[in-house]
């Protein structure tokens, strides 16, 4: 029991060292909850055409407006991606915390089982010693006729 317990506990803690939904039902099989990697989203921002030196004042002003629109679009896209990343990191951390809690419960249960095994071995040893002592004490007594 000790070797099996130690192997499983070490495996649990090794996995929990790496980075939530509620835990599945006790009778449900453990499955990988990760979805297949999706294609990374791309921004839809349109780069404005950079005017040349011979452009008109109107073209330069349009470029300034278009450049601001492009910058705002890229900032908004970046903020959205960062927010989604933060939510995913939070979910991943919650999953790790849940697993660490499970691994801790398992380790505690294994330690209790080891303690019970040790107590049982002590009781068996004491019973064997008692039986041996009783057998030896019977040998020393003379038979009554």
- Encode pLDDT of 75-123 as tens digits: 999 999 999 999 999 999 999 999 999 999 999 999 999 999 999 999 8
Best CA proximity match to 12, nearest among 119, 113, 123, 96: 96
pLDDT band at 139 (very low <50, low <70, confident <90, very high): low
Report CA-CA distances (Å) from 84 to 19, 22, 73, 81. 17, 21, 17, 5
> Which among 14, 20, 15 is positioned nearest to 34, based on CA atoms?
20
Instruction: Answer whether residue 144 is part of any domain.
Output: no
pTM above 0.85, yes or no: no
Q: How many domains does the chain have?
A: 1
Residue-level pLDDT at 143? 61
Residue 85 in tokens: 């990343």
In a domain, 12, yes or no: yes
**Assigned token pair, 76:** 């908004």
The verdict on residue 42 lying in a domain is no
Tokens of 2: 């000790």
Confirm whether 8 is domain-assigned: yes
pLDDT tens per residue across span 1-46:
444 444 444 444 444 444 444 444 555 555 556 666 778 899 999 9
Residue 74 lies inside a defined structural domain of this protein = yes
* Distance (Å, whole) CA 103 – CA 78: 37
Domain of residue 120 covers 2-16+49-139
Considering the domain boundaries, does residue 21 fall inside one?
no
Position 91 in a domain = yes
**Does the residue 131 lie in any domain?**
yes
* CB-based contact 114:1 (threshold 8 Å): yes
């Amino acid at each position: 029991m000790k070797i099996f317990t130690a192997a499983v506990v070490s495996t649990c803690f090794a996995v929990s060292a790496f980075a939530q939904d509620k835990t599945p039902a006790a009778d449900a099989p453990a499955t990988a909850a990760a979805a297949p990697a999706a294609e990374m989203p791309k921004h839809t921002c349109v780069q404005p055409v950079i005017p040349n030196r011979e452009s008109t004042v109107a073209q330069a002003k349009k470029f300034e407006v278009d450049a601001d629109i492009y910058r705002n679009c890229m900032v908004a896209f970046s903020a959205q991606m960062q927010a989604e990343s933060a939510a995913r990191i939070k979910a991943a951390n919650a999953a790790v915390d849940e697993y660490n809690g499970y691994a801790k419960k398992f380790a505690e249960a294994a330690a209790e089982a080891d303690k019970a095994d040790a107590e049982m071995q002590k009781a068996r040893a004491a019973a064997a010693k008692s039986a041996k002592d009783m057998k030896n004490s019977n040998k020393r007594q003379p038979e009554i006729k």
